[in-house]
């Protein structure tokens, strides 16, 4: 029995027999890239460099959830993101994933969510790396490896129920956009010569944990939704999943029966509080986060078994001109929402600002609503209109920031609409 697992038995109190309405399985596949499939060194200068070594392998961790005839898969990827431009289009990529999974799940029932680790291959189409032969070969294998993880999960389904918890994790992140008398500065930048007004927007020190528990109340999969850029190994020459990978390693040691999936929050403007870049800091942060998850596991509350559904909504977002070219037609992207009984998981593309997640949770009819960024297609930053007023890196025009004012509201409204859809009984 892993450390802290015994406390889960409290869930069974007063429930005889315990209902297990879901069938759940977990699987994992190594997606580590060859060293020549390099790291992003500068988005502004469109620079990448080959890796020199692998510090820790990268993984695709998959969970397949089934209730009746409905079946969905969530895949947590140790990647900076996935851009359609880099992998031959997201629709085609998902179809290749499903083919590799031998059709275990339908293509539209697969969620691909990246942790946004900056020490993984540059797979978000900000440089010319995507055009290289090594990258193209790796992207082809990537679809196969993700499919293998889903197939493993689908082949090991066990009766489960869902339990959720929220836990405050003080000191784990900051809003990195700091207003000064001279404009927006990054939280880790030099502020000593300028009068600091304060953070531009909110912070979120809450982590949201969802565990699928078997008949013995042991976790099969633990989903962790926390919010902070994984940049503790950014621009270092060794491939690594950064703190999300370290968190997963720590949790899987504490809960040997479980697979830990990190689902990144809306961290477009949220960073760890300190930016000293080294493996030791990534490890320490990940282990500290795992400690907060363990505390949350002690307060799990079972969800009702009201149903299972995953829905997507296509939206159109206004664009700004990039590289002196006129703005194209509006960018088309998808927003998704998975509802499991009384819990919701909202999946947003690109790098959403935290304010979007706050707005979704405020309007969601479900108390437990986890908002996950970096899902499906990478479309760059999704800033607030206030950010456009104040300026700064996240709204400076480039391949990493193409959207125009009004985008945040469109994304938020679409997500809220999905959370309000009635589930079939």
As a whole number of angstroms, the distance between CA 355 and CA 297 comes to: 27
Looking at residue 274, its pLDDT comes to 87
Domain contains 139: yes
Q: Where are the alpha helices (DSSP H) in 124-213?
A: 133-154
pTM: 0.94
Range of the domain at 254: 5-305+349-364
Domain contains 343: no
According to the per-residue pLDDT averaged within each range, which of 145-154, 197-206, 266-275 is highest?
A: 145-154
As a whole number of angstroms, the distance between CA 408 and CA 394 comes to: 13
Domain contains 67: yes
Domain contains 376: no
Looking at residue 201, its pLDDT comes to 87
Beta strands 47-49; 219-226: pairing state: unpaired
Q: Which two structure tokens, joined as six digits, stand for 81?
A: 């993101």
Q: First and final CA of the chain: distance in angstroms?
A: 36
The pLDDT tens digits for 230-254 are: 999 999 999 999 999 999 999 999 9
As a whole number of angstroms, the distance between CA 240 and CA 356 comes to: 28
Q: Which two structure tokens, joined as six digits, stand for 83?
A: 């851009």
Closest by CA to 250, choosing from 280, 293, 216, 209, is 293
| Stretch 160-174: mean pLDDT | 96
Domain contains 218: yes
Residues paired with residue 312 on neighbouring β-strands, in sequence order: 336
Q: Which two structure tokens, joined as six digits, stand for 273?
A: 């509080």
| Stretch 145-165: mean pLDDT | 97
Is residue 3's pLDDT more than 80? no
Q: Which residue has the higher pLDDT, 423 or 65?
A: 65
The pLDDT tens digits for 283-321 are: 999 999 999 999 999 999 999 776 899 999 999 999 998
Q: Which helix (DSSP H) or strand (DSSP E) does residue 412 occupy?
A: helix 407-419
Domain contains 400: no
Domain contains 407: no
Spell out where 236-330 has E strands. 238-239, 259-264, 270-271, 301-302, 308-317
Domain contains 410: no
Beta strands 259-264; 219-226: pairing state: parallel
Looking at residue 109, its pLDDT comes to 98
Looking at residue 11, its pLDDT comes to 55
Mean pLDDT computed over every residue of the chain: 92
- In the chain, how many domains are there? 1
As a whole number of angstroms, the distance between CA 255 and CA 91 comes to: 35
Task: State the number of CA atoms in the 13 A half-sphere of 302 facing the CB.
Answer: 21
Sorting pLDDT into bands at 50, 70 and 90, what band is 2? very low
């Amino acid at each position: 029995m892993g450390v802290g697992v015994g406390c889960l038995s409290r869930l069974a109190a007063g429930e005889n027999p315990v209902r297990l309405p879901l069938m759940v399985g977990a699987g994992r596949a190594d997606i580590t890239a060859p060293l020549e499939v390099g790291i992003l060194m500068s988005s502004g200068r469109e620079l990448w460099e080959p890796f020199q070594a692998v510090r820790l392998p990268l993984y695709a961790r998959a969970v397949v959830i089934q209730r009746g005839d409905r079946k969905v898969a969530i895949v947590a990827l140790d990647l900076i993101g996935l851009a359609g431009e880099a992998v031959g289009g997201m629709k085609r990529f998902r179809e290749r994933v499903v083919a590799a999974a031998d059709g275990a799940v339908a293509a539209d029932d697969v969620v691909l969510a990246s942790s946004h680790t900056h020490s993984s291959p540059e797979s978000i189409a900000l440089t010319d790396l995507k055009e290289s032969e090594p990258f193209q070969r790796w992207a082809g294998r990537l679809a196969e490896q993700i499919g293998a993880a889903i197939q493993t999960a689908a082949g090991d389904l066990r009766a489960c129920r869902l339990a959720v918890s929220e836990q405050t994790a003080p000191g784990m992140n900051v809003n990195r956009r700091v207003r000064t008398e001279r404009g927006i500065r990054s939280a880790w930048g030099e502020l000593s010569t300028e009068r600091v007004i304060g953070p531009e927007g909110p912070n979120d020190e809450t982590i949201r944990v969802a565990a699928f528990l078997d008949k013995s109340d042991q976790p099969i999969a633990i989903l962790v939704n926390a919010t902070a850029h994984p940049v503790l190994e950014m621009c270092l020459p060794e491939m690594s999943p950064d703190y999300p990978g370290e968190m997963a390693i720590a949790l899987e040691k504490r809960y040997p029966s479980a697979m830990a999936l990190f689902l990144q929050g809306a961290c477009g403007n949220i960073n760890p509080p300190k930016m000293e870049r080294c493996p030791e800091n990534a490890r320490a942060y990940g282990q500290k986060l795992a400690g907060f998850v363990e505390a949350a596991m002690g307060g799990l509350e079972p969800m009702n078994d009201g149903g299972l559904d995953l829905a997507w909504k296509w939206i159109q977002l206004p664009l700004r001109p990039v590289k002196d070219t006129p703005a194209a037609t509006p960018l088309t992207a998808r927003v998704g929402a998975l509802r499991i009984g009384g819990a919701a998981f909202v999946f947003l593309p690109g790098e959403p600002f935290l304010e979007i997640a706050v707005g979704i949770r405020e309007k969601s009819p479900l108390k437990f609503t986890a908002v996950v960024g970096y899902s499906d297609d990478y479309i760059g930053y999704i800033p607030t209109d206030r950010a456009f007023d104040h300026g700064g890196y996240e709204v400076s025009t480039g391949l990493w920031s193409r959207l125009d004012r009004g985008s945040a509201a469109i994304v938020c409204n679409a997500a809220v609409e999905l959370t309000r859809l009635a589930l079939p009984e």
